[in-house]
Amino acid sequence: MLRHGSSRNKRSRRRQSLLKAVLCLLHLLLAACGSGQAPAGSGAAGAVAPGLYAVDALAPSLQAPGIEMHLRYAERAPTGLVVHLAFYNNGPNDLAVVRGADPAAARLRGDDAEPPSAYSASLEGGIAPAGAWLAGGATNGTLTFARARGAAFTFEFPGFEAVPFRLDMPLRQAPEPAPAPVGTYTYGNGPAGGRSGQVAIERATVDERAVEIVVALPDAAEEFVDAAADVQGAVLLDSRWNQYPVAQAAAPAGDSTSPTPVSATAGTRRVALRFEGRPVGDVLLLRVPPFPLVRVPLRPGQEAAPASAVDLPPSRERRPAPVPAGDRTDSVTGEQQAIEQLVAELGRRIAARDRQGYLNAFAPEMRDEQARVFDRILALPLSDVGFTLEAGVVPDEDGQNRGAQVTLRYRAGDAAAVHTYSHDLALDLRRDADVWQITAVRGDLPFWLLGPTEARRTGAFTIFFRPLAESQLRAVEEEVAAALQQVGERLSGRVPASNVMFVTETADEFARLTGRDPARFAGVALSRYRIAPEGVTIEGSAFYINGAAFDDSRKESRQQTIAHELVHLALAEQTMPYTPVWAVEGMAIEVAEELPAETMRAAVQAGKLQGFDLAEFTARRGWGAPDQSGAETALDYAFAAYLTRYLVDRYGFDRFVAFYDSFATVPWARLEKDLPVTESEAVAESAFGTLARDLTAAQLQTAYGLDLATLERDFLAWVETEAT
Ligand SMILES: [Zn+2]
């Protein structure tokens, strides 16, 4: 019974995420930091002989439980040191949206620190593969560092533990599997063919361009009512765990008389799944949701079989053996219930201010720390702190449970206006006699779980800060007051009555909480958007001030940062994921009065106006990438600032506000067909870019009677004289 329940939950969650949940990040560039870090010449040869070197180090994600980075090997090439790396989803669950860790923010520290001079196309969308990130799936890629002097390095990738390595283990050849061998492989009576609740593999055909696998699926009605095979969600993994989504699902050749794509025989249905591309290696893994992974060897005479842990990517942690849905025992179900209750109990104990009851959920070695956390929660303006177990748990062989995925939800702020936040945590649990206890809390921890925290209400802000930063706080409060006044004057009635600000103490902490490069971002305003037919909802609006980026000499710039981010928060409800980024950033710069005159003057002198294409600029989402120096990003912000300035100068501020607001009232019927149906942030971003371009053309016409080409022409003529 519970089995049905949890399975349905999983499906409805999946459906929810298909409602295009998207995390929209609005951010401010700390332009001053960009230019100083441009690579100073490249190609300086290092002292180490050319060649390949093994590294083979794994580092866990600091933010997303179960994600691991694998530094595989390094290669001395004419272009520099090429680092071959992979990112694995070694958690128990598929992931919908992975916040984009930016490869351009990676650093190689050797004799000096260096940003990448290039990275592979596979990393352009971040570290997650396109589509949902399957448990067991990977992204493989390279980062090139043009200088990379010396033989000892530390590799830093945002959101992961740093990896020190040395070039002292030469490799004779690159550890890369050969392309999948062309041929047809048939499978008969292997274990995957006979078991109930499993996908049976009949045949695999590999050619230069695609793989076709004929499978027999268990009858949907046989076991679970909601376990119908999702053939459109089928994914193939190759020997490097690269993901290939199904391109076509059709009746197998020879079944062409069947009226439906899927042919039915007694108890099973057969379908031919086609995957485009050339996988690597001679073992493939096939997943047809909701069934477990099946190992498909491309070796004559070998049978397909349920995948085991050895088929999955390397991991620092021992992973639970994948248990087929049909084989789960009632004791597993009982343990799942016990953990579910334990996790849910935490929130109830906090609400009841029951310190001992809360601490009892933790192993003895955790209790001192958790006592401090409990006291902190009660002392801070936090409410409705609750924990929910999100996924089925499968205990390890030794009875432990590592990385149970738990959502932490809470509200912050005063009673008048609260903000809701959610965080994905991973809990490790241990069973002592019959009682489960929590032994570790990891994952995307909120500010107040990362260290001592105090909070103060200042005007319309609740500011969370570290006690050590208290001396800075008076200045921050003054700047907040000035920013509130500045933004309130231009956007009267729009400034929220309640805002939440987190002032981080260290650069690492800022990177961990925001996923942004602390060297380039002074502050980040974050909101989580969910788009659905009933409208767009927003939660978790907050801004993070990078406390380490400011000293006394930068006071004015911090105030501008606060004003800039406050504009984003003030307009969060009108700012859609398909509002052009130039309007979003242009508005913030306009109101915060940060017009980057020097950048634009230099751009005009360098002839950058000739290459400006407003339609392309309007569709652009990820500003700056792959841009190590920050120069491209600074130019994007400058164009946004001047384009907005032009519209405000020529037509007035109110008209620009109306244009900005108009994106929030685009009817669902107009959006529906163009909204991305994807769980990949990269794919969603690209679709939002196209939508932004098309909608901007329409909204410009309505608000200004202008088309994109006319605006581009008028703007360029204006900026040429304005900026010189
Ligand atoms: Zn911004």
pLDDT: is 218 or 246 the higher one?
A: 246
**Residue among 207, 209, 189 at smallest CA distance from 198:** 189
Q: In angstroms, what is the span from residue 561 Cα to ligand 1's centroid?
A: 9
Mean predicted confidence (pLDDT) in 87-105 = 74
The model's pLDDT over 240-290, given as tens digits with 9 standing for 90+, comes to: 889 988 888 888 876 443 333 333 344 567 888 999 998 998 889 998 877
Q: In angstroms, what is the span from residue 68 Cα to ligand 1's centroid?
A: 30
Q: Is the pLDDT of residue 394 over 70?
A: no
Q: In angstroms, what is the span from residue 566 Cα to ligand 1's centroid?
A: 9
pLDDT: is 718 or 536 the higher one?
A: 718
- CB-based burial of residue 449 (10 Å sphere; 0-12 exposed, 13-18 middle, 19+ buried)? middle
Q: In angstroms, what is the span from residue 485 Cα to ligand 1's centroid?
A: 18
Cβ–Cβ < 8 Å for 633, 623: yes
pLDDT: is 26 or 214 the higher one?
A: 214
Q: Where are the alpha helices (DSSP H) in 320-466?
A: 330-351, 355-359, 367-379
Q: In angstroms, what is the span from residue 564 Cα to ligand 1's centroid?
A: 6
The model's pLDDT over 60-71, given as tens digits with 9 standing for 90+, comes to: 887 777 888 888
What is the C-alpha separation between 336 and 320, in angstroms, rounded? 14
What is the C-alpha separation between 286 and 307, in angstroms, rounded? 9
Cβ–Cβ < 8 Å for 117, 145: yes
- CA 616 → CA 104, 159, 575, 580, 612, distances in Å? 22, 30, 20, 11, 8
Q: What is the pLDDT of residue 647?
A: 97
What is the C-alpha separation between 459 and 421, in angstroms, rounded? 21
Q: In angstroms, what is the span from residue 27 Cα to ligand 1's centroid?
A: 4
Q: In angstroms, what is the span from residue 637 Cα to ligand 1's centroid?
A: 9
Q: In angstroms, what is the span from residue 25 Cα to ligand 1's centroid?
A: 9
Q: Look at 125-129, 647-651, 712-716 and tell me which has the smallest mean pLDDT.
A: 125-129
Q: Look at 167-176, 318-327, 473-482 and tell me which has the smallest mean pLDDT.
A: 318-327
Q: In angstroms, what is the span from residue 26 Cα to ligand 1's centroid?
A: 5
Three-class secondary structure of residue 600 per DSSP: helix
Q: What is the pLDDT of residue 257?
A: 39
Q: What is the pLDDT of residue 437?
A: 92
Q: What is the pLDDT of residue 375?
A: 95
Q: Is the pLDDT of residue 329 over 90?
A: no
Q: Is the pLDDT of residue 655 over 90?
A: yes
Q: Look at 100-104, 258-262, 452-456, 492-496 and tell me which has the smallest mean pLDDT.
A: 258-262
Q: What is the pLDDT of residue 24?
A: 29
Q: In angstroms, what is the span from residue 587 Cα to ligand 1's centroid?
A: 9
Q: What is the pLDDT of residue 675?
A: 75
Q: Is the pLDDT of residue 679 over 60?
A: no
Q: Is the pLDDT of residue 518 over 90?
A: no
The model's pLDDT over 5-45, given as tens digits with 9 standing for 90+, comes to: 222 233 333 333 322 233 323 322 222 222 222 222 333 33
Q: What is the pLDDT of residue 239?
A: 85
pLDDT: is 163 or 352 the higher one?
A: 352
Three-class secondary structure of residue 238 per DSSP: coil
Main-chain phi, psi angles of 23, to 5 degrees: -95, 120
Task: For the chain, give the mean pLDDT.
Answer: 79
Q: In angstroms, what is the span from residue 29 Cα to ligand 1's centroid?
A: 7
Question: Which of 397-401, 429-433, 615-619 has the highest average model confidence (pLDDT)?
Answer: 615-619
Cβ–Cβ < 8 Å for 674, 690: yes
Q: What is the largest CA-CA distance in the chain?
A: 78
Q: In angstroms, what is the span from residue 568 Cα to ligand 1's centroid?
A: 7
Q: Percentage of the chain with pLDDT > 70?
A: 78
Q: In angstroms, what is the span from residue 415 Cα to ligand 1's centroid?
A: 28
Position 662 confidence tier, pLDDT thresholds 50, 70, 90 = very high
**Residue among 516, 498, 497, 499 at smallest CA distance from 507:** 516
Mean predicted confidence (pLDDT) in 694-701 = 95
Q: In angstroms, what is the span from residue 452 Cα to ligand 1's centroid?
A: 29
Q: In angstroms, what is the span from residue 547 Cα to ligand 1's centroid?
A: 17
- CA 609 → CA 635, 718, 719, distances in Å? 11, 11, 9
Q: What is the pLDDT of residue 193?
A: 44
Cβ–Cβ < 8 Å for 267, 281: no
What is the C-alpha separation between 100 and 69, in angstroms, rounded? 14
Q: In angstroms, what is the span from residue 159 Cα to ligand 1's centroid?
A: 21
pLDDT: is 472 or 378 the higher one?
A: 378
Q: In angstroms, what is the span from residue 264 Cα to ligand 1's centroid?
A: 55
Q: In angstroms, what is the span from residue 688 Cα to ligand 1's centroid?
A: 18
Three-class secondary structure of residue 388 per DSSP: strand
pLDDT: is 687 or 392 the higher one?
A: 687
Q: In angstroms, what is the span from residue 631 Cα to ligand 1's centroid?
A: 16
The model's pLDDT over 617-631, given as tens digits with 9 standing for 90+, comes to: 999 886 655 555 667
Q: In angstroms, what is the span from residue 642 Cα to ligand 1's centroid?
A: 14
What is the C-alpha separation between 206 and 201, in angstroms, rounded? 14
Strand locations in 267-311 (E): 268-276, 283-287, 294-297, 305-306
pLDDT: is 676 or 487 the higher one?
A: 487
Provide the 8-state DSSP code for 654.
H
Q: In angstroms, what is the span from residue 634 Cα to ligand 1's centroid?
A: 12
Mean predicted confidence (pLDDT) in 556-563 = 82
- Cβ contacts of 341 within 8 Å, gap of 6 or more: none
Would you put residue 76 in left (φ > 0), alpha (ψ -120 to 50) or beta?
beta
Q: In angstroms, what is the span from residue 640 Cα to ligand 1's centroid?
A: 10
Mean predicted confidence (pLDDT) in 148-153 = 84
Q: In angstroms, what is the span from residue 473 Cα to ligand 1's centroid?
A: 23
Identify the residue whose tokens are 């090139």: 144
Q: In angstroms, what is the span from residue 656 Cα to ligand 1's centroid?
A: 17
Mean predicted confidence (pLDDT) in 422-442 = 88
Q: What is the pLDDT of residue 390?
A: 80
Position 209 confidence tier, pLDDT thresholds 50, 70, 90 = very high
Cβ–Cβ < 8 Å for 17, 33: no
Position 680 confidence tier, pLDDT thresholds 50, 70, 90 = low
Mean predicted confidence (pLDDT) in 298-314 = 78
What is the C-alpha separation between 466 and 456, in angstroms, rounded? 11
Q: In angstroms, what is the span from residue 472 Cα to ligand 1's centroid?
A: 23
Q: What is the pLDDT of residue 387?
A: 95
Supply 467's token pair.
């006690």
How long, in residues, is the chain?
724
Supply 211's token pair.
């793989």
What is the C-alpha separation between 453 and 502, in angstroms, rounded? 10
What is the C-alpha separation between 437 and 341, in angstroms, rounded? 12
Handedness of CA 331, 427, 133, 232 (dihedral sign): positive
**Residue among 541, 462, 459 at smallest CA distance from 503:** 462
Q: In angstroms, what is the span from residue 523 Cα to ligand 1's centroid?
A: 9
Mean predicted confidence (pLDDT) in 80-98 = 80
Q: Look at 7-11, 384-388, 612-616, 695-699 and tell me which has the smallest mean pLDDT.
A: 7-11
What is the C-alpha separation between 111 and 99, in angstroms, rounded? 31
pLDDT: is 270 or 652 the higher one?
A: 652
The model's pLDDT over 380-390, given as tens digits with 9 standing for 90+, comes to: 999 999 999 88
